[in-house]
Structure 1
Amino acid sequence: MSRDLQHRLHTRVDLAVKVLDLPLSAEDIERLAVELTPAVKAILAEGADTAAELAPITYAVAETADPGERCVSEWAGCTSAIHPDVPEDCPAALLALELRRVQSDMTYTDVPRPADLVLTVRPRTLRAWEWWLQRLSIDTDTVERLGRTVTGTGRYGEVTVHLRGDNVGALLDDEAAQQSAARLSGAFAGHPW
């Protein structure tokens, strides 16, 4: 997709340069297309995210019981659920409790089994998201992006953690756009137009 998008963008930029009679060489046009591709890709993804936000989200990260069969509580803006057959002092429940006490990014925890924790966070920065990935030893091979949501699975001690990052996709798009803008501003600094 990126190569195809880059080619289509190059064609459009080349046409615009010719129509507007801008003093750009073929090399400048190529570089402009390469540098703009991530930003345009982010804009296109934003449009796709809007549609994804309207669709219901399917949670297929961990097998869970009927939501009606959960003990649910809320503390400091974080909704916590635990299966009634799971002891409250099991490793997954204790990890969820520990993280809830010290992290304000958490929005949801679910303990379907004694050694499984489903954790939803909404980090404010990419650095915060990277902290979660490192802290919970999330395997990079399991990290997947689904629109604005990024998921991954890892192990923390004896607990399997299914991490879900709300709005992390938007943070990644913003970072890519900022990097492209910085490269463009450096590439065309001092250009006469």
Structure 2
Amino acid sequence: MSRHLQHLLHSRLDTAAAVLDLPLTRDHLERLAVELTPAVKALLLEADDRAAEHEPVEYTLTEQAAPADRHVTEYNGCRSSIHPEVDEDAPAALLALEWRGMQPDITSTDVPTRTHLTITVRPQSLRAWDWWLNKAGVAVDSTRRHGQLITGTGYYGEITVYLRGENVGQLLDDQVVTASATRLTQFIGGHPW
């Protein structure tokens, strides 16, 4: 994709330089195409993400207890719920309790069964998100993006962990924009015109 995009960008730049009668050599045009390809690719991916947000999403229904059927508590901005048939000393419930006690990033936990835990976090950085992915045993390539929410499923011992990152999409967008802006600034700052 990048090589093809680079060739397309080069041909468009060549055409624009000819139409506008810009004094650009072939080397200038090639360098512009090479340097701008990542930024253009990021813009195209961003447009695809925006389009995907408006596409219908297929959902499957699973049997889960209604919120009224759960024991829900809230403490210090963290909402925790547990199905009434799950003992408080079940592995998933103990893991939720342990993580809630040591991590301020957690905004909610849900224990639907003794070996399943849904945890929602709001990490302050991508490094914190990477820590959560590693802690919950979630492979990066298995995560899914739903707007600003990133989800993934992993395993912590015998416990299936469904991890939800509330603001991770924004953190990823910020990283792409910063990297593209830095590269573009470095390229334009050293250019002769």
TM range (shorter): 0.7 to 0.9
Equivalent residue, structure 2, for 1:37: 40
Take 2:5 and 2:169, find their aligned partners in 1: how far apart are those partners?
Answer: 19
Deviation at 1:44, TM superposition (A): 2.7
Where do residues 86-97 of structure 1 align in structure 2 (5 Å cutoff)?
A: 86-97=86-97
Distance 1:63 1:40, change over 3 A: same
Aligned residues: 190
Equivalent residue, structure 1, for 2:123: 123
CA deviation digits over 1:13-52, x for unaligned, max 9? 5565456544443313422440322442365367558769
Equivalent residue, structure 1, for 2:69: 69
Task: Report the secondary structure of 1:188's partner residue.
Answer: helix
CA deviation digits over 1:108-153, x for unaligned, max 9? 1100001100011111110000000111111334211222111111
Deviation at 1:2, TM superposition (A): 7.2
Amino acid at match of 2:179: Q
Distance 1:94 1:121, change over 3 A: same
Where do residues 1-193 of structure 1 align in structure 2 (5 Å cutoff)?
A: 17-18=17-18, 20-24=20-24, 25-41=28-44, 43-44=46-47, 47-48=50-51, 64-193=64-193
Contact 2:35 2:183 in 1 (8 A): no
Amino acid at match of 1:40: L
Take 1:11 and 1:74, find their aligned partners in 2: how far apart are those partners?
Answer: 59
Q: How does the TM-score come out when normalised to structure 1?
A: 0.80
User: Could you say which structure has the greater relative contact order, defined with CA pairs below 8 angstroms and 6 or more residues apart?
Assistant: 1
Contact 1:14 1:29 in 2 (8 A): no
Structure index of larger Rg: 2
The CA RMSD measured in Å over matched residues stands at 3.1
Identity of aligned residues (%): 49
Q: Which runs of 5+ in 2 are unaligned?
A: none
Distance 1:125 1:14, change over 3 A: farther
Take 1:106 and 1:14, find their aligned partners in 2: how far apart are those partners?
Answer: 51
Once the two structures are overlaid, the 10-residue window that deviates more, 4-13 or 22-31, is 4-13
Deviation at 1:185, TM superposition (A): 2.5
Q: Which runs of 5+ in 1 are unaligned?
A: none
Take 2:84 and 2:131, find their aligned partners in 1: how far apart are those partners?
Answer: 31
